[in-house]
Amino acid sequence: MKLIVGLGNPDKEYLNTFHNLGFMAVDKALDSLGLECNKSKCRALICETKIGREKVIFAKPQTYMNLSGESVRELINFYKIPLEDLIVVYDDYDMPKGTLRLRENGSAGTHNGMKNIVKELGSENFARIRVGFRPQQENKIPLLNLVLSGIKAEDKPVFEKALTCASEAIVEFAKGQPFQRIMQKYNGNAN
């Protein structure tokens, strides 16, 4: 069984913000499969499906970003999913906009949602897909405000490419492809 978690904030006002890139990537993967998160469980919107012979749960925690770990822990415990079958998709300011970085484990960095997940799970040993959004020019906006700001129209094509690559990587993970192979294929620039 696989658990695919996209991070974001639930309210409509956050729909098109950088902090919702995880939600957007999961939604894009679900769209490609003709599915949607329309059930509520463990404080998340979820979609339970089968891909091949594997049961797959897609989840978008509704706890707001900084408490994402509470929902993820509840999902892990409810479905009894080992950490090697978990992947978390989220935004990352520490990477240039439009780039992807896939890792099998590692620290949460500066991301509060990931910090909470690591704390709640008591481990950093789970896969993640990070979608970079750092602007090319130095930014004067405080990070807290930037992550909640809207994606500009001129940047949409860059993020569309990145989200398409992220969604393809998600689907490959859901289909049971080895994560090492997925990393080799999608790490780096999403061009």
Span 64-122, pLDDT tens digits: 999 999 999 999 999 999 999 999 999 999 899 999 999 999 999 989 999 999 999 99
Q: What pLDDT is recorded for position 139?
A: 67
Yes or no: say if 163 and 21 are a contact pair by the CB < 8 Å rule: yes
pLDDT on residue 153:
94
pTM: 0.95
Residue 143 pLDDT > 70: no
Active-site positions read 19
Task: Name the strands in the sheet holding 54-61, side by side, starting at the edge strand that comes first in the sequence.
Answer: 39-41, 44-51, 54-61, 2-6, 86-96, 127-134, 99-103, 188-189
pLDDT value of residue 17: 94
Mean pLDDT in residue range 42-57: 96
| Mean of per-residue pLDDT scores for the chain | 93
Q: Does 2-189 carry CATH code 3.40.50.1470?
A: yes
* pLDDT above 70 coverage of the chain, percent: 95
Q: How far apart are CA 66 and CA 174, in angstroms?
A: 26
**Does residue 190 register a pLDDT over 60?**
no
Phi, psi of 56 (to 5 degrees): -130, 135
The per-residue pLDDT for 146 is 74
